[in-house]
Structure 1
Amino acid sequence: MLRRLLRIVLALVAVGFLGYGLAQNWEETTGAVAAMSPWAVLGAFAAVLLGQFFMLVAWREILAGLGTRVPLRTAGRIMFVGQLGKYIPGAVWAYAAMMDLGRDHGSPPRRTFATISLGLVINIGVAISIAAATLWTLDAVRQAWYLVLLVPVIILCLHPKVLAWGLNLALRVARREPLESVLPGRTVVVAVAWTALGWFVYGIHIWLLSGRPDLYVIATGAYAFAWATGILTVVVPAGVGIREGALVLVLAPVIGPGPALAVAIVSRLAFTLADAAAAGISFLLGRQVPRSVPAYADQNGSGSTALTPDRNLSGSPEA
């Protein structure tokens, strides 16, 4: 109860600082929002949706590499509907919802848990790498140089053997059965590629909202930096307030405090609406799994089913 209260307080503090900055630059910010082209706002929303689609493809690739191959629409239902839990204080809700939805569609909870965790690690690694490569000349970002130290650690953790050990350790802590297979190295490379493509598309929405044709590179790095900062602040649900503050920190010296606040606010709104739209579309499209796809019993005999045969650590098919 105390931890939940602390999370709520921290979220309110973050939002309070954002509100204070908005109040201090109210006229400039509202003017910047009013000056935004409706087509730019609509384009930003479309870019967010497209970026989410690429992230979904990466997520599905990881799930398939771990032994459960599902149609893209089913993966979308598991990922997009389940991740709405991130708006509730505490990361456990999104995990629990996605694991439950995964079970409904043939993915054992341990595989869904591993897929979520690995997808998050890849996202953080790619986001920090992009931010470091695009924003190293900005003083505000150089002050957070220590975040770059996470990149080699994440690369090391993505080695199949290290990855299998880490995920099985997390599963033991969560009192789940260990994974039956090691994620192939090719799957990791493909997931990283799709994730990077998603981040480059996400950059388009900040670029459109900024109204500066010359700022695509900085816009991409700015959002990557802001997202990584928000997600690493685990006590605040969905990085509310933290992500916007980091985005303003990067963009304000380039386009001014008011326009930077306007971009941060509209960006958050675009992502919130895109989350809801993606969840709604995926819920409708993923309600049924094609009957022609065979189901296989889970290794532990719990009654969960997978849509492809499991493979053990030696690579041989499970009985």
Structure 2
Amino acid sequence: MVEAAEARGRLSGFGRLLAVFGAIVAIALLVRTAMGAWDELRVESTRLDWTTAVLATIWLAATFILPIALWRALLRVAGRHLTFGAALELWSFSNLGRYVPGKVWQVVAMVLVARDFGVSPAVAASVAFVALALQISTGFLVASPIAGIIGEHSGAFLAAAAASIVCIALLVLRPAIFLRILSRIPLGRRLEPSVLGSRRTALLFVVGFVAVWTTQGMGLAMLASALGPVSWPEVPRFVGAYALSYVVGLLAVIAPGGLGVREEVLAATLAQAGIQGIPLHVLAILARVWAILAEVVILLWALAVRAIRIRSERATAGR
């Protein structure tokens, strides 16, 4: 039974090493960007509303519950039922793979950690690839409304948005073809065909990932309001800029966690979108610290859940 395998779940030696390495990289990245943000704040004499910044971090951490729930739902559609605590561990530990140079490590980490919860490599890889495809395609879709106002690259962004619409249409209307396309890439072979379920289920996943981008982009607008005034009509621009910068960071193969790329795209996009009264380069760097802090909150939660689970298993085994 999957539940029994889940109860006996343990990170393998290599998986544990990968998680520790990713955690070290993430912490080093956090310290580096925090120092950079602090230097920027001092040079610019920027005043930061710390209460608003903390609330924005709590908001972002809370929004991570939604992608965790979506990962869990994808696994459930594929016939693998995990508790929310197990899904939390799976998402948090595999997410550390993003900070290792090269974009395949999150998928590798997902496969390694999921195996210890009784999930086969084929199903784990399927969920990881489908979630990534949904994340990228819906990200471009959410960013598409601002494409017409960001200048010289608007044509490329509109083309990416159009490709995303085609991807989403295939995912919803022809999921088998969508998975066949994914299986053409080296790590996408032997994908589990049942991972998307029905068309209605696939559509619900699309809506879910759009909701992720929207709520997280609203969090960025909240963070920006800690640096300067943000009006409600400007919030959709922050949502679009956040989605665009995050997706471009995901596609930057060499940059671990999209470091540098995401900040540059975010600041440039917000500037071209007409956001004024806020030091955008400071916001971009601050947004990196904000995102990592929120991820650390979720990671600490996952570690606490794992510690409680292991303690419970040991107590049960000792009876």
Q: TM-score range by the shorter chain?
A: 0.7 to 0.9
Partners in 1 of 2:188 and 2:42 — Cα distance? Answer: 52
Written as runs of structure 1 = structure 2, the 5 A alignment for 1:146-157 is 146-157=159-170
Residues in 2 aligned to 1:54 and 1:153: alpha-carbon distance in whole angstroms: 24
Contact 1:99–1:109 (8 Å) recurs in 2 = yes
Aligned mates of 1:249, 1:121 — CA distance in 2: 25
| Cα deviation, residue 119, structure 1 | 0.5
**Number of the residue aligned with 2:217:** 203
Correspondence for 1:92 among 88, 104, 111: 104
- After TM superposition, give the deviation of residue 70 of structure 1 in Å: 0.8
AA partner of residue 176 (structure 2) = K
Equivalent runs, 1:281-300 vs 2, <5 Å: 281-286=301-306, 288=309
- Give the aligned CA root-mean-square deviation in angstroms: 2.9
2:12 paired residue number = none
Q: Offset of 1:284 from its aligned partner?
A: 2.3
- Residues 262-308 of structure 1, C-alpha deviations (whole Å, 9 max, x = no match): 111111001111222212212322463999xxxxxxxxxxxxxxxxx
For the structure 1 residues 29 and 255, does the alpha-carbon distance in structure 2 shift closer, same or farther, using more than 3 Å as the test? farther
Q: Match of 2:200, as an amino acid?
A: R
Matched with 1:213 is 231
1:138 aligns with 2:150: yes
1:240 equivalenced with 2:255 (yes/no) = no
The aligned residue for residue 273 of structure 1 is: 293
Report how many residues are paired. Answer: 267
> 5+ unaligned residues in a row in structure 1: which ranges?
1-14, 292-319
Whole-Å separation in 1 of the counterparts to 2:72 and 2:43: 39
The match for 1:114 is 126
In the superposition, the TM-score normalised over structure 2's length comes to 0.75
Structure number with higher helix proportion: 2
Pick the aligned partner of 2:66 from 54, 75, 85.
Answer: 54
Q: CA 1:42–1:69 in structure 2 vs 1: closer, same or farther (change >3 Å)?
A: same
Alpha-carbon distance in structure 2 between the residues aligned to 1:140 and 1:210: 25
Partner of 2:263, secondary structure, is: helix
Seq. identity, %: 23
Counterpart for residue 22 of structure 2: none
Pair 286,140 (structure 1): closer, same or farther in 2 beyond 3 Å: farther
Matched residue of 1:144: which SS?
Answer: helix
- Give the aligned partner of residue 200 of structure 2: 186
Change (3 A) 1:98 1:29: farther
Aligned to 2:238, the other structure's residue is in SS state: helix
Matched, 1:264 2:284: yes
Take 2:111 and 2:289, find their aligned partners in 1: how far apart are those partners? 27
Q: Does the residue aligned with 1:181 lie in a helix, a strand or coil?
A: helix
Q: 2:56 aligns with which of 44, 47, 55?
A: 44
Distance 1:95 1:182, change over 3 A: closer
TM-score computed with the length of structure 1 as normaliser: 0.75
Which sections of structure 2, spanning at least 5 residues, go unmatched?
A: 1-28, 314-319
Partners in 2 of 1:175 and 1:191 — Cα distance?
20
Higher relative contact order (CA 8 A, sep 6+): 1
